[in-house]
Amino acid sequence: MMVEEIVLLDEADEVAGRAPKAASHHRHTPYHLAFSCFLVDPRGRVLITRRALGKRTFPGVWTGSCCGHPAPGEGLRAAVRRRLATELGATAESVTPVLPAFRYRATAADGVVENERCPVVRAITSGPITPNPDEVETAEWWTWDRCLELAERPDSSPWYRLQMAQLAPLGAPLDWPDAGTDALPPALPW
């Protein structure tokens, strides 16, 4: 079985190395590459998920549709499509960068730290969703107003709250503008 690796970054967001994903998330998690995806249906609803209770980091929190780590050399679109399939059994008809420069650091109740350059994308789907129970406890299609309310709740993930502060001014998810790829980190091809 292959060990999943993450891309380590320097402060210029250039590749600084690679490391095993599982062993890298702890109290001193190194700065690394990730992404967040908001899956939107043609009606403008967003798939909101509750992370599986067995997840090593931030188990049981409510958050966007899926998150992941691009593998070394993997482009953002390919990584998003891979994680959508793995976590949600979903396919994306389109993937659009909406917050390409997003970065955050958060500490879980157990002391585990997330320290990520985490571009945020919107993916559109009209296909079925089949959540993987190892990844997702619950997955529900929510209205945008309900998504905004979740950002005020303490059981939402810290990255969700930070992302929503930047997404809310953009309006409804189907109206989010394409932010382009210029602000993506140099380490992450589109």
Which is nearest to 91 in space by CA: 64, 123, 136, 121? 123
Name the catalytic one among 37, 67, 118, 147: 67
Q: Which helix (H) or strand (E) holds 82?
A: helix 76-88
Q: Which two tokens stand for residue 179?
A: 């932010």
Catalytic residue among 5, 87, 114, 116: 116
- Cα 22 to Cα 96: distance, rounded to the nearest angstrom: 28
Q: Return the half-sphere exposure (C-beta side, CA atoms, 13 A cut-off) of residue 188.
A: 33
How far is the C-alpha of 14 from the C-alpha of 7, rounded, in Å? 9
Active site residue 67: yes
62 forms bridges with which residues in the sheet? 50, 156
Q: Which residues are catalytic?
A: 67, 116
